[in-house]
Amino acid sequence: MTTSSHSSQPATQNQTSGMWGGRFSEATDAFVAEFTASVQFDQRFYRQDIAGSKAHASMLAKVGVLTEQERDDIIQGLDTIQAEIEAGNFEWRIDLEDVHMNIEARLTDRIGITGKKLHTGRSRNDQVATDIRLYVRDEIDGILGLLHKLQTGILGLAATHTQTIMPGFTHLQTAQPVTFGHHLMAWFEMLLRDSERLIDCRKRVNRMPLGSAALAGTTYPIDRNYTAQLLGFDSATENSLDAVSDRDFAIEFNAAAALIMMHLSRMSEELILWTSAQFKFVNIPDRFCTGSSIMPQKKNPDVPELVRGKTGRVYGDLISLLTLMKAQPLAYNKDNQEDKEPLFDAIDTLRGCLMAFADMIPALVPNIEIMREAALRGFSTATDLADYLVKKGIAFRDAHEIVGKAVALGVHESKDLSELTLSQLQQFSDLITADVFDQALTLEASVNARNHLGGTAPEQVKQAIARAYTRIEQLQA
């Protein structure tokens, strides 16, 4: 890339920009040129810019503003430029400010005066708004693919663990036994909402600003619906002032990205806890971990930790965009050029995190015995004992009180409720009989009893997984 260093000398008149130099009497200061340029980062959507220009040229030919020959020359020229860029043979020039003017200038280099006709009836204001929408649309589709991979990875792991029992937590204290499959399906639900949100966001991304021109529309007899159709937009935007200045779609996307990151960071936090020596619930394969340069025993859960850390960065990207748009008057303002980096950063960060998770999650190895042992600690079936007493005619609040006393005895004796003898339990209520162990106090009895839609019973988790596959398919339809 050509970059210019700071110059305090104003350049001479003959160096004014070829794109808009007509009314200028001196060239842009070299530092200002670099400071105001965006080509360093907006060259990323050269494909969308070229696609937009090809569609625009086709539309101009359809309405008779360009000849068919001119349209063909432009399209062919743009195809060659795309090939040059992809072969790494394109010289991006800072003095040409952005991706739009770089490509347009190169087109004129190649095909001469016809190249200068491409910008008829459009402005960079509607051009850039169109390009970013096309770009975000493509990225949403890619991210939906990554989410799908992660979701199906979770479903596969959940299907093997519908019967695996672990403690469920509230306040990070042992609460009630749950199945590991059920816990994984909670992750799945979060991520399915994320897909729904992106699909919904995509509807508002997929509207075409092109034709709004600088802010008020254009004097040429353009056919915006035709251009929209060529570019796969659902419709053309309704108001030219709004269309060139609206970045809601980028904010919505970044908000959806921030939510996905929040979900990934919650999953990360659980994985970090679960892989610790204190929990040992889960093993993350070595290829997702690193060691310590000083402590030989260490195996660190780097991927979840880094994902947890990167979450803050994506939140920052969202706040940057919201703040960027705050109090901007209509219509386009140069401020809007600052929309790109936070958007790209959110996209890159999110993609990386999803790729790592999509590979790592199906590779997790739960320690079934250790999870089960942990579920046996912490009186996780206390609620089941209370429910058992309720079924025998005791009011729930009284049952709660009785079980509380039994738990106190267990704490005193360092025993789980299932390890107390029948006669010890009967001190608290003579309604407790020998069936209490099978009916209430075992882990299996506890999870099997929660056998309703949304419950943790293995049978329910199996059905939830089966429905999940259909729900994923319906989303894609």
Catalytically annotated residues = 171, 292
Residue 124 contacts ligand ARG per CB under 6 A:
yes
Distance CA 258, CA 455 (A): 29
Q: Which is nearer to ligand ARG, 23 or 334 (CB)?
A: 334
Quick note: the x/- pattern for ligand ARG over 347-376, rule CB under 6 A, is ------------------------------
Asked if residue 38 binds ligand ARG (CB under 6 A), the reply is yes
Reduced to 3 states (helix: H, G, I; strand: E, B; else coil), residue 8 is coil
DSSP-derived secondary structure for 271-321:
HHHHTSTTT--EE--GGG-B--SS-TT--B-HHHHHHHHHHHHHHHHHHHH
Give the separation between CA 116 and CA 112, rounded to whole angstroms: 7
* Nearest distance in Å: CB 89, ligand ARG: 23
Q: What is the CA radius of gyration of the chain?
A: 31
Which of 42, 126, 194, 246 touches ligand ARG (CB under 6 A)? 42
Q: Which is nearer to ligand ARG, 44 or 351 (CB)?
A: 44
Nearest approach, Cβ of residue 48 and ligand ARG (Å)? 13
Q: Please work out the total of residues on this chain that contact ligand ARG, with binding judged by CB under 6 A.
A: 9
Distance of closest approach, residue 36 Cβ to ligand ARG, in angstroms = 8
- Smallest distance, ligand ARG to C-beta of residue 126, A: 9
Question: Using the rule CB under 6 A, is 218 a contact of ligand ARG?
Answer: no
Rounded-to-integer distance, Cα 16 and Cα 286, Å: 58
Q: Which is nearer to ligand ARG, 81 or 128 (CB)?
A: 128
Single residue of 125, 227, 275, 311 touching ligand ARG by CB under 6 A: 125
CB of 341 to ligand ARG, least distance (A): 11
**Residue range at the interface with ligand ARG (CB under 6 A); choices 59-67, 70-78, 334-342, 418-426:** 334-342
C-beta of 215 vs 368, nearer to ligand ARG: 215
Alpha-carbon separation of residue 398 from 403, 404, 410 (angstroms) = 9, 10, 19
Decide whether 36 or 424 has the Cβ nearer to ligand ARG. Answer: 36
Site string for ligand ARG, 81-100 (x = CB under 6 A): -----------------x--
Residue closer to ligand ARG, measured from CB, 127 or 460: 127
231 in Cβ contact with 319 (< 8 Å):
no
Query: Considering beta carbons, is residue 72 or 335 the nearer one to ligand ARG?
Result: 335
What's the rounded Cα separation, in Å, for the pair 110 and 105?
Answer: 9
SS3 4: coil
Kindly state the smallest distance separating residue 334's Cβ from ligand ARG, in Å.
Answer: 6
Pick the closer one to ligand ARG by CB: 215 or 230.
215
- Dihedral (Cα; 143, 146, 152, 153), 10-degree rounding: -140
The answer to whether residue 48 forms part of the interface with ligand ARG (CB under 6 A) is no
> Helix 99-111 vs helix 68-86: angle between axes, to the nearest 10 degrees?
120
Binding status of residue 240 toward ligand ARG by CB under 6 A: no
3-state secondary structure of 170: strand
| Site pattern 290..329 for ligand ARG (x: CB under 6 A) | ----------------------------------------
Helix residue spans in 166-213 (DSSP H): 180-205
Q: CB neighbours of 267 closer than 8 A, spacing ≥ 6?
A: 187, 304, 357
Contact status, residue 403 vs residue 389, Cβ threshold 8 Å: yes
- Pairing of the two strands 235-236 and 207-208: parallel
Q: Enumerate the H helices of 382-457 as residue ranges.
A: 382-391, 396-413, 422-426, 436, 443-449
Q: Which residues pair with 236 in a beta bridge?
A: 208
Residue 151 engages ligand ARG in binding (rule: CB under 6 A): no
Select the span of 87-95, 284-292, 332-340, 341-349 touching ligand ARG (CB under 6 A). 332-340
Contact flag: residue 336 with ligand ARG (CB under 6 A): yes
**Closest distance of CB 215 from ligand ARG, Å:** 10
Q: Which is nearer to ligand ARG, 20 or 31 (CB)?
A: 20
Please identify, among the stretches 330-338, 372-380, 393-401, 456-464, the one whose residues bind ligand ARG according to the rule CB under 6 A.
330-338
How far apart are alpha carbons 154 and 463 in whole angstroms?
15
Name residue, tokens 């019973």: 457
3-class SS string, 67-121: CHHHHHHHHHHHHHHHHHHHCCCCCCEHHHCCHHHHHHHHHHHHHHHHHHHCCCC
Which region, judged by CB under 6 A, interacts with ligand ARG, from 47-55, 64-72, 121-129, 400-408? 121-129
Select the span of 124-132, 190-198, 403-411, 461-469 touching ligand ARG (CB under 6 A).
124-132
Q: What's the one-letter identity of residue 327?
A: A
429 token code pair: 């209520």
Tokens of 17: 């920009």
Contact set with ligand ARG (CB under 6 A): 38, 42, 98, 124-125, 128, 334, 336-337
